[in-house]
A and B are shown apart, each in its own frame.
Chain A
């Protein structure tokens, strides 16, 4: 009995030893890939940083107001953010490559799928970034136009513009990732249509007076003899 137990233990240990001998090279390979990946990612990060600095990304983002928003959200400037993005995308790529080197069949399939997704993830992030820029730019333009036209609730108008553009960017990014392919598009269409319809109804019913005032200001009726009244209502003298 004792002999059988010892033999069984021996066999198990032997198998474990053999498996370890087979696994260790894969593990070392993985570690090497991860470490090399880390070095490559750092080098690419430095190169990306220099290229972005040459392209004056920080100045451009200052101009478009992104730096200001990132600062408010306690995030680093775009130059840092983008170079860090390059680092992580590259290093995660190498980590997945390293995991693949372990030769675990269960991981194999998942990693291959993830690898195929990497470019799409990158494009999606790019779409989100451009969407963020566009949302910020156009919402600020809307705010300024609304303020200079003395429209009530200028910030609501601006926030709405930002929301719609960002929603569009998210929908496009998800579409790129092929996440719930048709659903995202349909959801966006329905949501956008619903918002517009509800705004139209709210404006038409709830804000009838406001709508009337705005239309009167946009299309003033100036029959002959009313010119003097118009002159009286100039807010400030000619510049």
Chain B
């Protein structure tokens, strides 16, 4: 039964007129004037090309855009389907756009999509990021087909990324989930996701909506909850992921607070599950045809990041003493004193750092928000070490390096379990 209270009157009226659908796609927006038209067209072509017999609806919960995004969403149209190597749609393509109820944010928008999926009895759903520049019609097939035709419940995206892009996910979030939940999800916080109608209803019933999981956090929670509640999960290769630059997006500290904070909250919620899991993470079925294209390499100032790490580490020591064990803190300090050329943040120390932060977060050793703000500096240190070590490596070698790191997360799982209920940093 749909949670009518989640849907605004305006939404409810429009959705009731749509009737039941087979496929529902949600595109939550907030001031995405520059990219929304392209995303909507790609989805429309994708649905026409791959699901032309199905009843489809596209909904747009908008967070109160002031740049005309909802109008663009509604009016975006494909001029000539023939030129795009597809036939014209056989069925009416429903489009619903309305501002959503409650506090603006992705969590409210996603809740609206799930409530709509429940109301329209959708068999398959997908969430698309509104600011993707690299979206293609094939993404619709990649995210919907495994659910609609292969009976999977959750489709995590797999992207091709530039060489050093997404190191927070590849060097912390994904290996930690792999080691603790026993499933190798490469993009647990991807902007796009596919899911079955029954999983959407299951998410809707959870008590997470009023809690502190935000934007990225919710995606991570969806992935881990699907694992914990034993839904069928797979990955789908979508190709390169390029997003429009965000004018007011979170910085490194803000992103770490959201992503890592969500991971730690999920570890709290799913403690019974991950404590009982053992062994190396299992790979997921991968749909799609992985390929590589040359992406523009990322440029950055490694020396400045290293200087920041060195100069600020001592400043932060009083706080780190309350989070890390004396041994780990000593090893981090030792690493910071190495020369630029020899600088290394060893994998073991990095994994222990992450696990000790997770345990301190669980115990609320210090205010949780403060704890998460102490991590970015150490993340800078680790990233620097990773870049130094792999500056001449190709993508394949970097993947192997990440796999080795993931192995370290698995090896030290018992360390996390010991630290989980141990005393605070200063007591050891």
Contacts and interface: CB of A to CB of B under 8 A. Distances in A.
B315 interface: yes
Nearest to B384: A236
A68 B366 contact: yes
A145 B319 CA distance: 13
Given A234-B301, A236-B380, A239-B256, A147 B316 contact: yes
B322 interface: yes
B370 A144 contact: yes
A148 interface: yes
B366 A63 contact: yes
Given A62-B366, A68-B424, A235 B304 contact: yes
Given A140-B319, A148-B376, A237 B164 contact: yes
Nearest to B164: A237
Nearest to B360: A62
Contacts of B321: 68
7 contacts: A62-B366, A65-B370, A143-B315, A146-B315, A147-B316, A154-B315, A235-B304
Contacts of B319: 140, 143-144
Interface in B376-418: 376-377, 379-380, 383-384, 387
A143 B364 CA distance: 19
Interface string A201-239: 000000000000000000000000000000111111111
B426 interface: yes
A71 B318 CA distance: 13
Which of A231, A233, A237 has the largest number of chain B CB atoms within 10 A?
Answer: A237
Interface string B250-262: 0011011001000
A51 B165 CA distance: 51
The residue among A64, A141, A152, A239 with the most chain B CB atoms within 10 A of its own CB is A239
A144 B364 contact: no
A75 to B, nearest CB: 13
Given A144-B373, A148-B377, A150-B312, A238 B256 contact: no
B308 interface: yes
Contacts of A150: 308, 311-312
Contacts of A146: 315
Contacts of A236: 167, 252, 300, 305, 380, 383-384, 387
Interface in B279-298: 298
B255 A239 contact: yes
A231 B365 contact: no
Nearest to A64: B367
A239 B370 contact: no
Given A140-B319, A147-B312, A236-B252, A59 B364 contact: yes
A236 B309 CA distance: 12
Interface in B178-218: none
Contacts of B164: 237
A132 interface: no
A188 interface: no
A233 B316 contact: no
Contact of A235 (B255, B308, B311, B367): B308
B252 A239 contact: yes
Contact of A71 (B165, B301, B368, B426): B426
Contacts of B322: 65, 68
A62 B426 CA distance: 12
A239 B263 CA distance: 15
A238 B373 contact: no
B243 to A, nearest CB: 9
B332 to A, nearest CB: 14
A156 to B, nearest CB: 9
A143 B367 CA distance: 14
A137 interface: yes
Contacts of A62: 363-366, 424
Contact of A238 (B166, B312, B424): B166
Nearest 9 CB-CB pairings of A with B? A239-B168, A235-B305, A154-B315, A63-B364, A144-B373, A237-B164, A234-B300, A147-B312, A148-B253
A233 B301 contact: yes
